[in-house]
């Protein structure tokens, strides 16, 4: 492909993605993630994935997108802002900001599919797949390689102009799109995220022991939360934002403009512990059926509420 055509294709994809509401777009050449391979192997061998057995599967595919898309030549990485204008009130069971509104899988996948259609309509028969945290793709590694930021000590991708409250998505295409330059790491000597983590899950810069993370305890773990975690975190019942909230780069975060990421009503974010314990399954499904909270489910959230209230099941671990 000549340089003019490559530049034209890049511009077409970038412009349409930004029009759809994505904040940043970057391009990288599809290939094996050599730097990530030993890191992933050490993370898994250290059992830092806890009970998340699915992380052990598809090791090779996680490291090489060419095993996911035949003939893959490029990875298009996209960031979609989810930083809310309105936050939860204090003194209520806390929900991670990414789960305030409609499940991001639904919202972003629709946009990615529309972007793929746009590419095929204006460039031609392009093969590829869309991904948004739903397949063995190391999204932060690809976003970093695509020049969209650096991976901070809390393992989140950080953009210097707007922080880290982003969903990361990808198009893996059999279309040559070139390679954007990487971005410098600007974390410096700052350790605020490491110091603030109440369960000491950030065991080294850019290394999070998932088995100690509050998000793991409140969403992924399907058995009693280890009693040693009791009292270490205050009010989180779905996810956790602590390591992002304390990050100095998030002083640049601005509210998103995606209506579906807003809570459908104030009650959704201000439900008290007692109200969570009293809600019925039917009401939960009616109010949160399109929400990321469905991943945990009502019973798990109730268990989390009981845990932070000091009345939950105790584990010997």
d(CA 115, CA 281): 36
Neighbours of 83 (CB within 10 A): 20
CA-angle at 124, arms to 119 and 129, nearest 5°: 50
Task: Indicate the angle between helix axes 104-122 and 3-19, nearest 10 degrees.
Answer: 140
Q: Looking at 64, 133, 185, 245, which residue is catalytic? A: 133
Per-residue b/e over 94-111, b at no fewer than 16 CB within 10 Å? bbbbbbbbbbbeebbbeb
Whole-angstrom distance between the N-terminal and C-terminal Cα of the chain?
58
Catalytic status, residue 133: yes
Residue from 205, 78, 207, 98 nearest 148 by CA: 78
Catalytic positions are: 133
């Amino acid at each position: 492909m000549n340089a003019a055509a490559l530049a034209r294709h890049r511009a077409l994809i970038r412009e349409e993605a930004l029009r759809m509401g994505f904040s940043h777009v970057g391009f990288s050449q599809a290939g094996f993630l050599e730097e990530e391979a030993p890191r992933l192997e050490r993370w898994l061998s250290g059992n830092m994935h806890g009970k998340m057995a699915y992380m052990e599967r598809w090791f090779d595919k996680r490291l090489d997108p060419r095993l996911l898309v035949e003939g893959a030549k490029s990875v298009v990485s996209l960031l979609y802002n989810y930083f809310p204008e309105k936050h939860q009130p204090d003194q209520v069971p806390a929900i991670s900001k990414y789960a305030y509104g409609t499940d991001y899988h639904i919202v972003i996948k629709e946009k990615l599919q529309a972007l793929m259609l746009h590419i095929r309509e204006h460039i031609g028969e392009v093969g590829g797949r869309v991904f948004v945290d739903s397949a063995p793709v190391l999204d932060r590694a690809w976003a970093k390689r695509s020049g969209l930021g650096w991976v901070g000590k809390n393992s989140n991708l950080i953009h210097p102009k707007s922080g880290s409250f982003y969903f990361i998505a990808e198009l893996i295409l059999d279309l040559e799109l070139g390679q954007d330059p990487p971005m410098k790491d600007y974390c410096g000597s700052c350790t605020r995220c490491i110091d603030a983590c109440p369960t000491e899950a950030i065991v080294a810069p850019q290394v999070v022991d998932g088995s100690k993370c509050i998000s793991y305890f409140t969403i992924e773990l399907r058995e009693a939360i280890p009693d040693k975690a009791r009292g270490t975190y205050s009010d989180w019942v779905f996810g956790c934002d602590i390591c992002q909230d304390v990050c100095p780069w998030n002083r640049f975060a601005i509210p998103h403009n995606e209506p579906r990421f807003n809570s459908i009503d104030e009650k959704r974010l201000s439900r008290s512990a007692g109200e969570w314990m009293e809600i019925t399954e039917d009401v939960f499904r009616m109010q949160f059926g399109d929400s990321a909270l469905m991943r945990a489910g009502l019973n798990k959230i109730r268990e989390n509420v009981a845990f932070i209230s000091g009345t939950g099941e105790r584990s010997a671990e």
